[in-house]
Amino acid sequence: MVDEKKIRTLFNEGSFEFLIMNEIQRAKIVYRILNKTYPKITVPLKSRNVFTLLISVLLSAQCTDVNVNNVTKNIYPRYYKPKHFVKLGRKKIEKLIKKIGIFRIKAKSIYNLSKILIEKYNHQVPKTFDELENLPGVGHKTASVVMSQGFGFPAFPIDTHIHRLAQRWGLTNGKNVIQTEKDLKRLFPKKHWNKLHLQIIYYGREYCKARDCYGISCKICTTCYPNRKKPLITKKA
């Protein structure tokens, strides 16, 4: 296990004399390129408050952020509190989000978690991973996004895209998303996690696409692996 204080020192001083030198060096390359490419970053999902952020992240499963934003822009001006969605009921929620994938399942989760927030949390979104992950339709990734983007708590949400890029860049062995999260948290100082998560997402969409770079053409891939000639086959999440 790498000591976080040691990693911070390596980042600040540019020293790579460490047991996992190659990983640290590649992490530093990734960090530099991402910060140069995206010095300022915005949250891709539009929301009105922490509750609507939670709803948007839940809706984004198997759906693009653009599609979610296109749907929620017509919802959040009127409905933005748990009591609003409970009053709507499942069927009306379904109608509001019918353009989003698996909308019936998501509508059920939205209705049920809204009831729980009212009954158990005084209409508020809880601020712990355990409480969030116990809500209907909320997994670890969704909870991580809410904790980081909603409450500013250091977290490193891992989706299929970040899982793929971390493998291409030699930052994880790609065993599973749990391991990828552990590896990225181990390689980068905690203070950078929230911003890096978003920077990686944007970079993957623009430069290191799933069906484009294949680990051999974008700046990060070619800098981390200048001798890589064949497309890298990554493990799925």
Tokens of 52: 């609507």
Task: Give the predicted TM-score (pTM) of the model.
Answer: 0.87
Tokens of 223: 């800098």
User: In terms of C-beta distances under 8 Å and separation of at least 24 residues, what long-range contacts does 138-147 make, across chains too?
Assistant: 138/54, 138/58, 138/109, 138/113, 141/177, 142/54, 142/57, 142/58, 142/61, 145/53, 145/57, 146/50, 146/53, 146/54, 146/57
List the CATH code of the domain at 4-37+156-224: 1.10.1670.10
* Whether 159 is catalytic: yes
Residues carrying CATH 1.10.1670.10, the chain:
4-37+156-224
pLDDT by residue for the chain (237 residues), tens digit each?
445 565 555 555 444 333 334 899 999 999 999 999 999 999 999 999 999 999 999 999 989 999 999 999 999 999 999 999 999 999 999 999 999 999 999 999 999 999 999 999 999 999 999 999 999 999 999 999 999 999 999 999 999 999 999 999 999 998 899 999 999 999 999 999 999 999 999 999 999 999 999 999 999 999 999 999 999 999 887
Catalytic position from the list 28, 106, 141, 183: 141
Residues 50-150: name the CATH superfamily: Hypothetical protein; domain 2 (1.10.340.30)
Residues carrying CATH 1.10.340.30, the chain:
50-150
Q: What is the pLDDT of residue 198?
A: 97
Catalytic position from the list 46, 81, 83, 159: 159
Helices (H), 45-189: 50-59, 65-72, 82-88, 90-96, 103-121, 129-133, 140-145, 160-168, 177-187
Cα three-residue angle 13-17-2, rounded to 5 degrees? 85
